[in-house]
Amino acid sequence: DADVTQTPRNRITKTGKRIMLECSQTKGHDRMYWYRQDPGLGLRLIYYSFDVKDINKGEISDGYSVSRQAQAKFSLSLESAIPNQTALYFCATSDIKNTEAFFGQGTRLTVV
Amino acid sequence: AQSVSQHNHHVILSEAASLELGCNYSYGGTVNLFWYVQYPGQHLQLLLKYFSGDPLVKGIKGFEAEFIKSKFSFNLRKPSVQWSDTAEYFCAVTAAYNTDKLIFGTGTRLQVFP
């Protein structure tokens, strides 16, 4: 089984709909991250969390919210999806010193 | 805040050619540096990292990178590329004394032709 699992892997949704992307990890790490990947822009940090009570905004948090339900689970929500949120979304985890980040397989989200 | 620049957006090489991908970072303090690779359709994986010590670090699959502090650079190299090296390569940085955020460059797409 993968260390970091994202669901769904692919999703097409309509403008204005609410959608949740889920991430779970078996690494036992406290740190979890959500990134989005766009061609030519690399990976940009949306939100990150160091434990269930510690949520932090990243570079591009507008239009997104997150929930850390447990050490192993970190969900990303788009309250009202818009087309420019079409992207590949990655969840990642790391240890406390960030010596290596472990990524999920990604969720390809299309907003039409 | 730290940032990362990768000036090569798309590199095309023939097999056996040598590779060097540029990475420059912007940060006034001590940094930890990483190269990640993303093979087509897959997630990112760590290729190599530099925290301290020997500025020439070796990673998996014959890759190496050299940290040049005076140039704020951490270029990735491989003497002879293979078709299987076709992938996207990302340089990333964290501040050494505040590792909260891992900041990525925009990536370099490498295509290797047989």
Q: Work out the mean pLDDT of chain A and round it to a whole number.
A: 94
Question: What is the pLDDT, as a whole number, of residue A40?
Answer: 86
pLDDT, tens digit, 9 for 90 and up, residues A10-31: 999 999 999 999 999 999 999 9
Q: Which residues of B touch A (CB under 8 A)?
A: 6, 9, 32, 34, 36, 42-46, 49, 51, 90, 94, 99-107
Q: What angle do CA B8, B11, B17 make, to 5 degrees?
A: 125
Q: Do B42 and A50 touch (CB under 8 A)?
A: no
The 10 Å Cβ neighbour count of residue B6 is 20
The 10 Å Cβ neighbour count of residue B30 is 11
A44 contacts in chain B (CB < 8 Å): 104
> Strand ranges (DSSP E) for A1-112?
4-7, 10-13, 19-25, 31-38, 42-51, 54-57, 65-70, 73-78, 87-94, 101-103, 107-111
User: Does A105 lie at the interface with B, CB-CB under 8 angstroms?
Assistant: yes
pLDDT at B2 over 70: yes
Question: What is the pLDDT, as a whole number, of residue B100?
Answer: 81
| Among chain B residues, CA nearest to A36 | B104
Confidence of residue A2 (pLDDT cuts 50, 70, 90): confident
The 10 Å Cβ neighbour count of residue A52 is 14
The 10 Å Cβ neighbour count of residue B38 is 21
Which residue has better confidence, B22 or B2? B22
pLDDT, tens digit, 9 for 90 and up, residues B11-52: 999 999 999 999 999 988 889 999 999 999 888 999 999 999
Name the residue among A50, A100, A105 with its Cβ closest to that of B49.
Answer: A100
